[in-house]
Structure 1
Amino acid sequence: MGKINVLDKHIADLIAAGEVVERPASAIKELIENSIDAGATAVTVEIRNGGVTYLRVTDNGCGIAREDVPVAFLSHATSKIAGKDDLRAIGTLGFRGEALASIAAVARVEMLTRTADELAGTRYGIEGGREQYCEDAGCAEGTTIVVRDLFYNTPARMKFLKKDITEGNAVAAVVDKEALAHPEVSFRFLRDGRETLRTPGDGNLKSAVYAVFGREFTESLIPLDYELNGVKAFGFISSPAAARPNRSMQNFFINGRYVKTRTAMVALEEAFKGSLMVGKVPACVLHLTVPLEAVDVNVHPSKIEVRFLNERPIFDAVYHGVKAALNVGDKPHILKLADSAVQPKKRETPPMQMRFSAPLPKQKTEPEKPVHIVPTVREQPIPTVPKAVPAMSFHAAVKAPDIEFSEEEPAAKPLKPSQPPVSEKSEKVPEPEPQYTAEPEPAVPEEKPERLIGEAFGTYILLERGDDIIFVDKHAAHERLLYEKLKAQSGESDRQLLLEPVSVTLSKDEYSAVLESLDICAKAGFEIEDFGMGTVLVRTAPMILGGNGVAEAVMEIAGYLASNKTDLTTEKVDWLYHNIACRAAVKAGDPASSRELIDLVHRAEREGVRYCPHGRPVFFILTRKELERQFGRIQ
């Protein structure tokens, strides 16, 4: 007896439906695209419980004739293509004829539709691929499709669905993309009875961007309109100052279809090279109009991936279009001063003399309490009392004078016991070694004389100790120290209440991931609350961040949480500690005093720091013997 069986049609439909309908968002996408292909100018989407129990799409398109309604739910039934030649230039969003059949195979579906020349509409019901009724009904021109109990007959797929809030955010992301792809269509999105999106449908892309992402994101955009070699690029790119830590806000559209294209993405980022900080990427809402025969959208059932006949025209149009837009729209930021700063009040006393400037003429009328002005180097009288010089950077090119006079006290001061008088015969006052004013620190375990040599490339500390030279990466050492401190606090990290909450606009996937991980963010010191429409408010942040870069830190955290689909809570918290420590640590090139550099080395030694949280070494030692061997002094 043969082992190969022909599957029942119903089972085959269930298998095929899994390729098109993966989750409620997939069904919404297919239904919206059908509405747009039908010429709709207004589309309303409503979901309940993330779209699992109820979703509805209503449009004012051309509708479906009574005799075509049952046929529309058959597999591979479509009005958009007729032969194989039509596949060479697909101009519609849908073309396979699988959407309605796939949705009807795994849900309870009801359709209400009417064309312009029909007096009565049609009400049609189908469950699990089996027709239930087809009757007259009163309805407006257009089509309404209601889908209930998605995957009710496929429990294996049902158990892989996420929480309602996650599925709902995925639907919201689809509606956002369709609204950006078709600004000429007015979209309305209802979620559990509450309207969360409404676009004007006036054909202005900026209006759609404003409705989807809000004012803050829209104000940071630069318009782009460029055409080259038959490819037209138009839309908006973010200014370099508004760059983001990940690509979640890069939106590309080919002939009105949202797609993921590496060609356009690389062209965009190449055009921004030299204008962005390392680790930042631009955001965009970029439309490309390409000849239909030059692009193939029949690559994947989701129709998000496309292939180009020739990628060079696409790359060139995006690259040169972005360059041209940056040249025109990337204007320098102008700092607006307050009125009091622009027009300072007149001072009753003469202004303070600037250092290294010519002496001011003596005023006839002296104030009641004269101000002792710091003299310039040329004006300094013979010093009578040497004072300790503040700690200076080891790489300073010019030494400051050994003394200075206070503005509040006369130059002559009583000698301190630790300061011996200076002989009048002294030709030169010896410069004291750099000294601390802070409290003495514990002695270094290894009792060897040490001397700070300096700092190489603004990054590496060089400390001479005995016969060794210690090289320390200051950023890596500081980052590890902060990371260990955060881990030791274990969720009770010092946090600060922000003077004003920081609003952060996220993609819908990131937005959903953050809302699902509020407890994890709280362990890292971030108090975040939902502000709606893809925006969150940050009210508290870790103290070590100092209030700077809060929005960028939350963006990075959101991107990580969205990409990390597993529920490894410990791993997520550990990554958050890494991120915060890296942001708060001193950076390469940041100025630091000699005291700070030495203190950082001693702290790293006391705590046994060897590697940064990313695994890079913190220090290494070059012995005198090895150095002399390099110079040929010894063998």
Structure 2
Amino acid sequence: MGKIHVLDRHVAELIAAGEVVERPSSVVKELVENAIDAGSTAITVEIKNGGIEYIRVSDNGCGIAREDVPKAFLRHATSKVKAENDLESIATLGFRGEALASICAVSHVEILTCSEGEALGTKYSISGGEEESLTDAGCPKGTTIIVRNIFYNVPARMKFLKKDVTEANAVANVLDKIALSHPEIAVTFIRDGKQTLHTAGDGKLLSSIYTVYGREFANGLIPVDYSLEGVAVRGYVSSPQNARPNRNMQNFFINGRFVKSRTAMAAIEEACKGSVMTGKFPACVLHISLSCQAVDVNVHPAKIEVRFIQERPVFDALYHAVKSALLSGDQPKQVSLKPRDMTRSARPSNPFEFEQTCKSKFASKQEPANPLHVNHQPSLKEAAPAALEKKEDCQPQISIPKTHAFQNYVADGVNPFDLYKGRLQVSQSFIPAADANTEKKAQTAQQPKPQPVVSKETDSAPEDGKRAFTEPFEGSSTKFIGEAFRTYIIMERGEDELVFIDKHAAHERILYEKLKAEKGAGAMQYLLEPITVALNKLEYDAALQNAKAFLEAGFEIEDFGTGNILVRSAPQYLEHSDIASIVMEMAGYLLEHKNDIYAEQMDWIYHNVACRAAVKAGNINHPQELIALAERLEADPALRYCPHGRPVQIVIKKREIEKQFGRV
């Protein structure tokens, strides 16, 4: 007996439906695209319980004639393609005639529709591919489709759906793309009874971007408008200063359709070379218009992947469009002070130059200097009276750029500002020539006695703020020699070894171990002004679902609505300017590695934070900072490798050096 047999119609439809309907967001995408093809100017989407139990899509389009309603739910029934030649110039978003048939095969569907000129509308119900009823109904022009209990008859697919909040955010992500692809359409999204998205539908792309991604993102964009060889590119690209740690905010639309294109990604990243830092990626919302015959969208049922007949014209148009936009937008930044900043001293160009700020300035309730580096941050109400009590004491008013992160192993209670005061007493051999004049100016001011930036475990510094750098460490025969290439600490150990320490690798390993041991508790520092971070809906969902992981890394985050999260605290080791970027990286990583075990996720996060916070090769460091770092390594021989596996230090024997000089 033969083994091959024809599948039952119902089974065949369930298999076919699996290609189109993967999750509730797939249903929303297909229904909204049909609404756009119907000429709608306003579309409303409502979901409940992530869209698993209830989806409603309403539009004000042309509607469907009564006699066409049952046919619309048949497989391969469509009004958009009639002949083979039509496939070569597809201008609509849908054309396969599979969406409604696939949706009704795995759910309960009800449609209310009324076309132009009809006195009554039509109500039609179908479940599991089987027609239930067809009746007249009163309804406005347009179409409303309600989908209930998706995958009710396919338990194997139902168990693969995610939590309600995850599925709802996937729907929100789809609608974000729809809103950006068609700014002329007013898109409204209602989630469990609460409206979370509403675009104006005024045809202005920037207005839609502002609504979808927020003010911070929209303000960092540069307009793009360019045409080349029949390919037109318009939209916006982020300025180099607002580049992101991943490609999740790159949006490409070809003839009004959201697509993922390696050609487009490669073109804009090539255009940004030399402008955007390595490891960063430009964000963009770019509309690409070209002939329908030049692009094939009939690649996959989801219609996200496309093929170009000729990729070079598309690449060139995108490259030159973004390149010219960056050149025109790369003007000197105009800085405007906020009203509350008008009473603050101007930030010095060099950390050694500062003004003396006395009682009169404290009386204006000025913010305390360097608020991010102290262990205890008094409120402004506490800080101002304390300053007024010291009538004769004038504190230097300076916003110190934290270029070094050695506070991590500095003794508790030592103000990092002392680091800069201590530098005023360093010998000229440790100060760059460019800072010589600054050094002399700073020494003319009456300063409190500088305090050494050393660990409790290290030797006390001499009274003049310096230590005898060639003295052996306490209880050790190791001596500090100097620093090579602003990267490697040189130590002499005993009488027969030279030790070279990679200061970045060493500091990174120390911070990694500290973060891991404290689980964020000791490293966390509250920010005077919380930072708003814009994410796409999927990253946003990943960040909020992993708030515990952020907290264990020293970040306190909370929901700020519409794809934004608020960062209220961060590890004290980090530069303030790095916080938003690191949060974006963490959200992107947690999204892409959501199936990894928690310990592996945390290990990556600790690695990343430690690497970003550690002192960098090329930084100018005080010799005492280098000594403190070397002593920390000397005290713990287990710190042999950085978190990435690179050696922290190497040892060269005296005999090897003598061989090179022919002494042995």
Are the equivalent residues in 2 in contact too, given 1:394–1:454 (CA < 8 A)?
A: no
The counterpart of 2:426, out of the listed 391, 401, 405, is 391
Residue 470 of structure 2 is aligned to residue 435 of structure 1 = no
- Separation in 2 of the partners of 1:322 and 1:40? 32
Secondary structure of 1:532 counterpart: coil
Are the equivalent residues in 1 in contact too, given 2:504–2:615 (CA < 8 A)?
A: yes
Written as runs of structure 1 = structure 2, the 5 A alignment for 1:478-493 is 478-490=507-519, 492-493=521-522
Written as runs of structure 1 = structure 2, the 5 A alignment for 1:419-498 is 435-436=466-467, 443=474, 445=476, 447-448=477-478, 450-456=479-485, 458-465=486-493, 466-490=495-519, 492-498=521-527
Percent identity, please.
Answer: 57
Are the equivalent residues in 1 in contact too, given 2:224–2:233 (CA < 8 A)?
A: yes
- Separation in 2 of the partners of 1:529 and 1:408? 45
- Separation in 2 of the partners of 1:227 and 1:23? 38
Unaligned runs of 5+ in 2: 347-353, 357-391, 395-422, 448-462
- Separation in 1 of the partners of 2:296 and 2:428? 62
What code does the residue aligned with 1:391 have? Answer: V
What code does the residue aligned with 1:173 have? Answer: N
Residue 602 of structure 2 is aligned to residue 538 of structure 1 = no
Are the equivalent residues in 2 in contact too, given 1:108–1:127 (CA < 8 A)?
A: yes
Structure 2 match to 1:108:
108
What code does the residue aligned with 2:467 have? Answer: Y
- Separation in 1 of the partners of 2:2 and 2:611? 64
Are the equivalent residues in 2 in contact too, given 1:511–1:534 (CA < 8 A)?
A: yes
Select the structure of larger CA radius of gyration: 1
- Separation in 1 of the partners of 2:492 and 2:424? 23
Structure 2 match to 1:596:
625
- Separation in 2 of the partners of 1:515 and 1:109? 33
User: How far 1:216 moved relative to its partner?
Assistant: 1.1
Written as runs of structure 1 = structure 2, the 5 A alignment for 1:377-388 is none
1:215-263: CA deviation from partner (whole Å, max 9, x where unpaired) = 1111111000000111000000001111111111110111100001111
Written as runs of structure 1 = structure 2, the 5 A alignment for 1:49-64 is 49-64=49-64
User: How far 1:454 moved relative to its partner?
Assistant: 2.1
User: How far 1:453 moved relative to its partner?
Assistant: 3.3
Are the equivalent residues in 2 in contact too, given 1:391–1:436 (CA < 8 A)?
A: no
The 1:217–1:408 alpha-carbon spacing in structure 2 relative to 1, beyond 3 Å, is closer
- Separation in 2 of the partners of 1:227 and 1:146? 42
- Separation in 1 of the partners of 2:574 and 2:483? 27
Written as runs of structure 1 = structure 2, the 5 A alignment for 1:218-233 is 218-233=218-233
Structure 2 match to 1:360:
none
User: How far 1:489 moved relative to its partner?
Assistant: 1.4
Are the equivalent residues in 1 in contact too, given 2:73–2:104 (CA < 8 A)?
A: yes
User: How far 1:468 moved relative to its partner?
Assistant: 2.6
- Separation in 2 of the partners of 1:591 and 1:313? 47
Structure 2 match to 1:328:
328
Are the equivalent residues in 2 in contact too, given 1:392–1:594 (CA < 8 A)?
A: no
- Separation in 2 of the partners of 1:632 and 1:42? 86
Are the equivalent residues in 2 in contact too, given 1:498–1:547 (CA < 8 A)?
A: no
Are the equivalent residues in 2 in contact too, given 1:107–1:152 (CA < 8 A)?
A: yes
The counterpart of 1:575, out of the listed 591, 596, 604, is 604
Written as runs of structure 1 = structure 2, the 5 A alignment for 1:1-400 is 1-336=1-336, 390-392=425-427, 396=431
The counterpart of 1:585, out of the listed 611, 614, 635, is 614
Greater Cα shift, 393-402 or 478-487? 393-402
User: How far 1:408 moved relative to its partner?
Assistant: 5.4
The 1:406–1:75 alpha-carbon spacing in structure 2 relative to 1, beyond 3 Å, is closer
User: How far 1:406 moved relative to its partner?
Assistant: 6.4
What code does the residue aligned with 1:107 have? Answer: S
User: How far 1:591 moved relative to its partner?
Assistant: 1.4
Are the equivalent residues in 2 in contact too, given 1:110–1:147 (CA < 8 A)?
A: yes
Are the equivalent residues in 1 in contact too, given 2:234–2:288 (CA < 8 A)?
A: yes
The 1:392–1:298 alpha-carbon spacing in structure 2 relative to 1, beyond 3 Å, is farther
Greater Cα shift, 519-528 or 229-238? 519-528
User: How far 1:517 moved relative to its partner?
Assistant: 0.9
The 1:103–1:341 alpha-carbon spacing in structure 2 relative to 1, beyond 3 Å, is closer
- Separation in 1 of the partners of 2:266 and 2:663? 53
Greater Cα shift, 306-315 or 613-622? 613-622
Are the equivalent residues in 1 in contact too, given 2:428–2:436 (CA < 8 A)?
A: no
User: How far 1:543 moved relative to its partner?
Assistant: 2.3
Secondary structure of 1:616 counterpart: coil
User: How far 1:442 moved relative to its partner?
Assistant: 6.1
Superposition RMSD on alpha carbons, in Å? 2.8
What code does the residue aligned with 1:435 have? Answer: K
The 1:558–1:340 alpha-carbon spacing in structure 2 relative to 1, beyond 3 Å, is closer
Residue 553 of structure 2 is aligned to residue 553 of structure 1 = no
Secondary structure of 2:223 counterpart: strand
- Separation in 2 of the partners of 1:619 and 1:433? 31
User: How far 1:588 moved relative to its partner?
Assistant: 1.8
The counterpart of 2:529, out of the listed 500, 511, 516, is 500
Greater Cα shift, 14-23 or 621-630? 621-630
- Separation in 2 of the partners of 1:168 and 1:405? 62
The 1:159–1:392 alpha-carbon spacing in structure 2 relative to 1, beyond 3 Å, is farther
Are the equivalent residues in 2 in contact too, given 1:504–1:555 (CA < 8 A)?
A: yes
Are the equivalent residues in 1 in contact too, given 2:224–2:234 (CA < 8 A)?
A: yes
Aligned residues: 569
Structure 2 match to 1:417:
none
What code does the residue aligned with 1:260 have? Answer: K
Secondary structure of 1:544 counterpart: coil
Residue 601 of structure 2 is aligned to residue 566 of structure 1 = no
1:506-531: CA deviation from partner (whole Å, max 9, x where unpaired) = 01110010111112211112111111
Unaligned runs of 5+ in 1: 344-350, 354-368, 372-387, 410-431
The 1:537–1:153 alpha-carbon spacing in structure 2 relative to 1, beyond 3 Å, is same
Bigger share in helix = 2
- Separation in 1 of the partners of 2:343 and 2:529? 23
Are the equivalent residues in 2 in contact too, given 1:493–1:523 (CA < 8 A)?
A: no
- Separation in 1 of the partners of 2:100 and 2:445? 84
The counterpart of 1:510, out of the listed 539, 561, 570, is 539
- Separation in 1 of the partners of 2:528 and 2:177? 34
Are the equivalent residues in 1 in contact too, given 2:78–2:95 (CA < 8 A)?
A: yes
User: How far 1:547 moved relative to its partner?
Assistant: 3.9
Residue 642 of structure 2 is aligned to residue 612 of structure 1 = yes
User: How far 1:487 moved relative to its partner?
Assistant: 1.1
Structure 2 match to 1:623:
653
The 1:497–1:70 alpha-carbon spacing in structure 2 relative to 1, beyond 3 Å, is same
Structure 2 match to 1:421:
none
Structure 2 match to 1:524:
553
1:437-476: CA deviation from partner (whole Å, max 9, x where unpaired) = 99x996364x25x3423221x2222334333332222111
TM-score by length of 2: 0.81
What code does the residue aligned with 1:210 have? Answer: Y
- Separation in 2 of the partners of 1:341 and 1:502? 21
Secondary structure of 1:152 counterpart: coil
